[in-house]
């Protein structure tokens, strides 16, 4: 039975571990560098224009946003990383919140948004390893596919797979939040993970 991502409801933001949801529904955690298009990917997936807020703003970078899909799973929007303009205090807050969330055992599946144009950054590699260490399957979304020439797609996907050291079981999905490419493939990968 597929998940209907149109049936989405914002539940709450968490700024500290006491705010984490622990009701047993599977949590699909979306992570990505600031500006990679994480909000745009989420909005595309749930068919809303502005559900996840597009455009990071300083001071709002250290919160986890929970959306419930069909009362069956959570789409968890993790705070973006690598945003140049945040203070050290803000970065520390980000680190503490993320460490607590990754240690909580609450993540069912990791969804990592990377830029289809570029080699994954050191931060991307670290994030992938956090998911692996947490024992999660990972789905990687290579966003901004519309910016690539056709001939670049294959080699770039190979590079992303290699640099992030994805395993056979981890899906890599070429995606364009702008055009809509990969939306059905992403929905299918998330459903298939849910069904085990
Ligand atoms: P976030 O910081 O990761 O949540 O990124 P946003 O969703 O706010 O997007 C950052 C910028 O990238 C915005 O200007 C988006 O319009 C743009 N963007 C997001 N997805 C795509 C895409 O698939 N293609 C292109 N060309 N631009 C995109």
Structure tokens at 156: 């770039």
| Cα–Cα dist 185/166, whole Å | 18
Upper half-sphere CA count for residue 143 (Cβ side, 13 Å)? 25
The answer to whether 82 and 34 have CB atoms below 8 angstroms apart is: yes
- Write the pLDDT tens digit of every residue in 97-134: 999 999 999 999 999 999 999 999 999 999 999 999 99
* Residue-level pLDDT at 52: 72
Mean pLDDT, rounded, for 144-164? 98
Structure tokens at 42: 């989420």
User: In sequence order, what are the beta bridge partners of 76?
Assistant: 29, 66
* Residue-level pLDDT at 60: 60
* H and E: helices and strands count for the chain: 5, 7
| Cα–Cα dist 42/78, whole Å | 11
Q: Which of 31, 37, 51, 86 to mutate to test the pocket of ligand 1 (most atoms within 8 A of CB)?
A: 37
Query: What is the residue with the minimal CA distance to atom 22 of ligand 1?
Result: 144
How many C-beta atoms surround the C-beta of residue 131 within 10 A? 23
With cut-offs at 50, 70 and 90, classify the pLDDT of residue 36.
very high
Q: Which of 58-72, 96-110, 161-175 has the lowest mean pLDDT?
A: 58-72
Pocket of ligand 1, beta carbon within 6 A: 32, 34-40, 54-56, 80, 143-144, 146-147, 176-178
């Amino acid at each position: 039975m597929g998940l209907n991502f149109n049936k989405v409801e914002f539940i709450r933001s968490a700024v500290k571990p006491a705010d984490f949801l622990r009701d047993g529904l599977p949590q699909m955690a979306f992570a990505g560098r600031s500006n990679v298009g994480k909000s745009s990917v989420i909005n595309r997936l749930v068919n809303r224009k502005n559900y996840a807020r597009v455009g990071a703003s300083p001071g709002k970078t250290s919160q986890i946003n929970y959306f419930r899909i069909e009362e069956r799973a959570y789409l968890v929007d993790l705070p973006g990383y690598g945003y140049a303009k945040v203070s050290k205090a803000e970065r520390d807050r980000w680190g503490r919140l993320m460490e607590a969330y990754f240690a909580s055992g609450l993540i069912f599946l990791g969804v990592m948004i990377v830029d289809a144009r570029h080699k994954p950054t050191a931060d991307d590699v670290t994030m992938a390893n956090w998911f692996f260490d947490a024992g999660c399957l990972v789905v990687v979304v290579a966003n901004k596919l519309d910016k690539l020439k056709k001939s670049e797609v294959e080699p770039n996907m190979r590079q992303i797979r290699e640099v992030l050291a994805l395993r056979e079981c981890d899906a890599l999905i070429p995606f364009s939040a702008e055009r809509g490419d990969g939306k059905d493939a992403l929905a299918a990968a998330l459903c298939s993970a849910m069904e085990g």
